[in-house]
Structure 1
Amino acid sequence: MSDRHSDLSQPVETLHDSEQLKARSRYLRGDIAKGLEDSLTGAVPGDDPLLMKFHGIYQQDDRDRRADRRRRHLEPVYQFMVRLRIPGGLLTKQQWWGIDALSRRYAERGIRVTTRQTVQLHGVRKPHLRGLMQGLRKIGLDTIAACGDDSRGVVCGANPFLSRAHRRVAELARTTSDRLIPKTNAYPEIWYQESPGGESNEEPVYGELYLPRKFKVGYAIPPVNDIDVYGQDLGLIAVVDNGRLLGFNVCVGGGMGQLDSREDSYPRLAEEIGFIEADEAPAFSETVMSIQRDFGDRRDRHRARFKYTLDRLGMDWFLKELTSRRGRPLEPARSQRFEHNGDRLGWQRGDDGLWHATLYIESGRVDDALRAQISGLLEQYGGQLRLTTNQNLQLTHLEEHEIQTVHYRLEDLGLAWRLTPDTQAAHTLSCVALPTCGLAMAEAERYTPRLLDLFQRLKGQYGLADLPISLRLTGCPNGCARPYLGEVALTGRAPGLYNLYLGGSFQGGRLARLYAGNVDEARFLELLAPLLESFARDRNDGEHFGDFLIRWRLLDDQPATPTP
Structure 2
Amino acid sequence: MVQTPINPQSLQSAVDHKVSKLEGIKERSNFLREPLATELRQDTNHFTDAAVQILKFHGSYQQDNRDNRVKGQEKDYRMMLRTRNPGGFIPPQLYLALDELSDRYGYGHLRATTRQGIQLHGILKSNLQATVATIIQNLGSTLGACGDLNRNIMAPPAIFRDKPEYLIAQEYADKIADLLRPQTEAYYEIWLDGEKAVTVEEHPDVVAARQQNYNGTVFADSAEPIYGTHYMPRKFKMAVTVPGDNSVDAYTQDVTLVVITNKAGALQGFNILAGGGMGRTHNKEETFARIADEIGYVDKADIFDAVKAIVATQRDYGDRFQRRHARMKYLLHDWGVEKFREQVESYFGKPLKPFKKLPAWKFEDYLGWYEQGDGKWFVGVNIDNGRIYDNGSLNLRSALRTIVERYQVPMRITANQNIVLYDIEPGDKAAIQTLLDEHGVTRPDQVDQMVREAMACPALPMCGLAVTESERVIPDILGRVRALLTKLGLPDEHFVVRMTGCPNGCARPYMAELGFVGSAPESYQIWLGGSPNQTRLARAYTERLPVDELEFFLEPLFVYFRDQRRVGESFGDFCDRVSFDALRKFSAGYDPATYQPRKKDQRHRIGVYSDTYELLKVAVEKEGRPMSQITADAIADYVAKYLAENGA
TM-score for the superposition, normalised by structure 2 = 0.81
Q: 1-side partners of 2:369 and 2:485: how far apart?
A: 27
Aligned to 1:156: 155
Contact 1:81 1:120 in 2 (8 A): yes
1:405 aligned partner: 431
- SS of the residue aligned with 2:449? coil
Match of 1:179 in 2: 179
Q: Which amino acid aligns with 2:68?
A: R
Stretch of structure 1 that moved more, 534-543 or 230-239: 534-543
Name the SS of the counterpart of 1:439 in structure 2: coil
Change (3 A) 1:555 1:335: farther
Measure the CA separation in 2 of the matches of 1:255 and 1:109: 32
1: CA distance between counterparts of 2:244 and 2:335? 32
Q: Which moved more, 1:427-436 or 1:155-164?
A: 155-164
Structure 1 contact 485–505 (Cα < 8 Å) conserved: yes
Match of residue 68 from structure 2 = 65
Give the deviation of 1:59 after TM superposition: 0.4
Residue of structure 2 equivalent to 1:451: 477
Distance 1:201 1:8 in 2: 23
Q: Distance in 1 between matches of 2:525 and 2:62?
A: 27
Correspondence for 1:275: 297
Counterpart of 1:80? 79
Residue 52 of structure 1: SS of its match in structure 2?
helix
2:95 equivalent to 1:96: yes
Q: Match for 2:346: what amino acid? A: S
SS at match of 1:165: helix
Query: CA separation in 2, counterparts of 1:126 and 1:346?
Result: 39
What's 1:194 paired with? 194
Match of 2:630 in 1: none
Task: Indicate the RMSD between aligned Cα atoms, in angstroms.
Answer: 2.2
Letter in 2 for 1:473: M
Structure 2 partner of 1:539 = 565
| Shift, 1:226, TM fit | 1.3
Are the counterparts in 2 of residues 425 and 452 from structure 1 also a CA contact under 8 Å? yes
Distance 2:566 2:195 in 1: 65
For residues 400-456 of structure 1, give each alpha carbon's deviation from its aligned partner in whole angstroms, at most 9, with x where no partner exists.
Answer: 343233222322222252564221110100000000000000100001111111111
Identity percentage over the alignment? Answer: 36
- Match of 1:443, as an amino acid? E
Q: Are residue 320 (structure 1) and residue 342 (structure 2) matched?
A: yes
The equivalences for 1:24-423 within 5 A come to 24-39=28-43, 41-66=44-69, 68=70, 70=71, 73-108=72-107, 110-162=109-161, 163-194=163-194, 201-242=222-263, 243-368=265-390, 369-381=395-407, 383-418=409-444, 420-423=446-449
- How many residues of Structure 1 are paired with residues of Structure 2 in the alignment? 551
SS of residue matched to 1:380: helix
TM-score, with length taken from structure 1: 0.93
State how far apart, in whole Å, the 2-side matches of 1:505 and 1:80 are. Answer: 36
Query: CA offsets per residue over residues 137-182 of structure 1, 9 Å max, x none?
Result: 1111111110010001111124143522211110100111111121
Which amino acid counterpart does residue 208 of structure 1 have in structure 2?
A: T
Q: Give the conservation status (yes or no) of the 8 Å contact 2:404–2:410.
A: no
Deviation at 1:325, TM superposition (A): 1.6
Please tell me whether the aligned partners of residues 484 and 512 of structure 1 are also in contact (alpha carbons under 8 angstroms): yes
Distance 2:39 2:15 in 1: 29
Native 8 Å contact 1:113 1:392 kept in 2: yes
Structure 2: which 5+ runs fail to align? 197-220, 586-648
The structure with more radius of gyration: 2
CA contact (8 A) 2:88 2:157 kept: no
Secondary structure of the corresponding residue to residue 111 of structure 2: strand
Which residue among 491, 510, 518 is the counterpart of 2:544?
A: 518
* DSSP-derived class of the 1:115 partner: coil
Deviation (angstroms), 1:304 = 0.6
Q: Structure 1: which 4+ aligned runs deviate by more than 6 Å?
A: 1-4
Measured in 2, the distance between the counterparts of 1:533 and 1:440 equals 32
Separation in 1, partners of 2:304, 2:508? 25
- The code of the aligned residue for 2:151 comes to R
Deviation per CA, 1:334-391: give whole Å up to 9, x if none: 2213443341311112232322110110110011432112111223336221100100
Aligned equivalents of 1:222 and 1:158: distance in 2? 14
Determine the C-alpha separation between the residues in 2 that align with 1:378 and 1:267: 38
Cα deviation for residue 12 of structure 1 reads 11
Structure 1's 402 and 195: CA in aligned 2 closer, same or farther, altered over 3 A? closer
SS at match of 1:6: helix
Q: Decide whether the 8 Å contact of 2:467 with 2:520 is kept in 1.
A: yes
